[in-house]
Each structure stands twice: as structure tokens, then as C-alpha cells.
Amino acid sequence: MVCTGREKGHPDFYFYDANWNRLYYQHEALEKANNIEKPQNLDEMLKIAKNLCKGYSHIRVDLFDVDNNIYFGELTFFDNSGFDTDISYETDLKWGEKILLPNK
């Protein structure tokens, strides 16, 4: 996920897979026509995220690419408390199917 325009109050979100293919997860009215340029250090960012998320069934890893430097933001267990109204119902189901909870 790429987030732009935080300073305007409600940022724009763009979703991509690890190969930088655009994914449309939000309600259609929220999807922007333009694309975001792939960060030069995306592979390193993915490597960092994979290391930081080991052992968790779900966690969001916030990394920032500023002038080709990687900065760590935070680890988030429940983004939007689990109630993100920007993503579509179909996306919510799709993401839910991907989470494998431990049987404890």
C-alpha cells in the first residue's frame, strides 16, 4: 500500500503486489487513475517487512521511502481498529481469508 497526500486530511491509497502490479481494493470512487512510481528500494523494503512480521498472523509494517532512504514508522496490529470503510466488502472478505489464526 502506498499512501500519499496525508497533509490534506484524507490521504489517497494505492495498492500493489510485490511485483508492483496495481490492485484495486477500495470502493471504485476512491481509486485514482494515476499510478505511483515503483520505489527503487522496494525489494529491500519488502525484506525488512518480512523480517519484522515474522511470528504474527497479521501485522501492518509501515516503512517510508524518502529520497531513496528507508525509514521505519510503526507496526500496527489493528489498522482502523479493523473497520476500514474505504476498502470494498469483497476486499475485506479476501483479506480475511488470507489470515491464518493459530489454533490455541
Question: What does 40-66 look like in DSSP terms, one character per residue?
Answer: TTHHHHHHHHHHHTTT-SS-EEEEEEE
pLDDT value at position 31? 96
93: three-class secondary structure by DSSP: helix
Q: What integer pLDDT is reported at residue 45 of this predicted model?
A: 97
- pLDDT, tens digit, for every residue of 32-68? 999 999 999 999 999 999 999 998 888 999 999 999 9
The pTM score is: 0.84
- The dihedrals phi and psi of 9, each to the nearest 5 degrees, come to 105, -50
Q: Where are the domains of the chain?
A: 2-98
For 40-62, letters b (16+ CB in 10 Å) and e give eebeeeeeebeeeeeeeebeebe
Angle at 86 between CA 85 and CA 90, to 5 degrees: 85
Instruction: Look at residue 43 in the predicted model and tell me its pLDDT.
Output: 97
